[in-house]
Amino acid sequence: MKIMVTGGAGFIGSAVIRHLIHDGGDEVINVDKLTYAANLESLSSVENSNNYCLEIADICDSDKMADIFKHHQPDAVMHLAAESHVDRSIDGPDAFIQTNIVGTYQLLDAAHQYFKSLSDAAKRQQFRFHHVSTDEVFGALKPTDPPFNPSTAYDPRSPYSASKASSDHLVMAWLHTYGLPVVLSNCSNNYGPHQFPEKLIPLIILNALENKPLPVYGKGENIRDWLHVDDHAQALVMILKQGRIGENYLVGGDAERTNLDVVRAICDIMDILSPIKKNSAHRELIEFVTDRPGHDLRYAIDTSKIRKELGWAPQHDFKTGLQDTVKWYLENENWWRPIQDGQYQGQRLGLNTKQSNNKQGTS
């Protein structure tokens, strides 16, 4: 199967591409603008594969998208290209509107025109447009609320989640109005190797490694469900190939934790793998900082639909997955050091200011 993956040089996109090529033997066209969070080193294991091609392009460029569809003739699209960091959306929402809404529209339009041009009945029957989204579109849960499910009403609270909610609605509109065969998925917080250091887990790992303060928003009571990126990649491919047209599938790790619990768990792992000194512990580095504006209290995912329909379940236990993730960052300084020496040094974002120079908090 020839699959066009947008945002394939990002954290989740690169995991999807590695899974497609190594485990599925599919042919992949990676369409990526190569923004700050993209890293081609995450694709070093597939870059020389005959099944892999990189197209450096912006999904907002309608002419370029049309050319890529015409040239490569994909059997399916997996749309992961997006601005994804909530804090950055607070400081600069424009990029999120442009990429997540306008870019998704341009990609949908190009996909629709390409789909209409297909004369081969079998190719039309096979074609799919899989839009990858987030659980943040559903808003916030109280501690006693049931998890999000596919029928949960949308209630986005940040510029990021609002832009993703908008793109979700556009995708479903292209199904109902134009007949474009689409599937949709919403996931919980991802973690694992190759994640850009602005996100909670890699940020805390790298700060702990250098004995820097470990900033936690508010009291650290915000709850997230944690999903290993490799489990997510497997789920996304199953949704693309086996999911029902017009359906949305929720993907989660069944691992709800408070942010503070996650940070403390990383500290305890670091005490074993990279101890500070005798009679000292990484937990002593935890520092509570001003909370993010509009910080949602809790997200949780009901995975019963994807389990029942597609037979998917997460394979990574959070405790073991977190240990393996910490170990990966400790062993792969060559991947993250250029990032810290270049475009991101752990500065605080999301304070609703043009320049945020304080320590970065957690998401």
Which residues have a catalytic role annotated?
135-136, 160
Contact 208, 267 (CB under 8 A): yes
Please name which of 294, 287, 289, 292 lies closest in space to residue 349, comparing C-alpha atoms: 292
Pairing of strands 189-191, 223-228: parallel
The C-alpha atoms of residue 288 and residue 55 are separated, in whole angstroms, by 42
| Residues comprising the chain, all counted | 363
The C-alpha atoms of residue 32 and residue 81 are separated, in whole angstroms, by 7
For residue 188, the SS3 value is coil
**Virtual CA dihedral for 205, 142, 170, 26, nearest 10 degrees?**
40
Pairing of strands 52-56, 27-32: parallel
**Virtual CA dihedral for 70, 40, 263, 272, nearest 10 degrees?**
140
Please name which of 92, 314, 350 lies closest in space to residue 203, comparing C-alpha atoms: 350
User: Please, what is the Cα angle at 108 between 104 and 112, to 5 degrees?
Assistant: 175
Q: Exposure pattern of 320-329 as b/e (b: 16+ CB <10 Å)?
A: ebbbebbebb
The C-alpha atoms of residue 321 and residue 228 are separated, in whole angstroms, by 7
Name the E strands within 66-198: 76-79, 128-134, 182-187, 189-191
The C-alpha atoms of residue 83 and residue 99 are separated, in whole angstroms, by 7
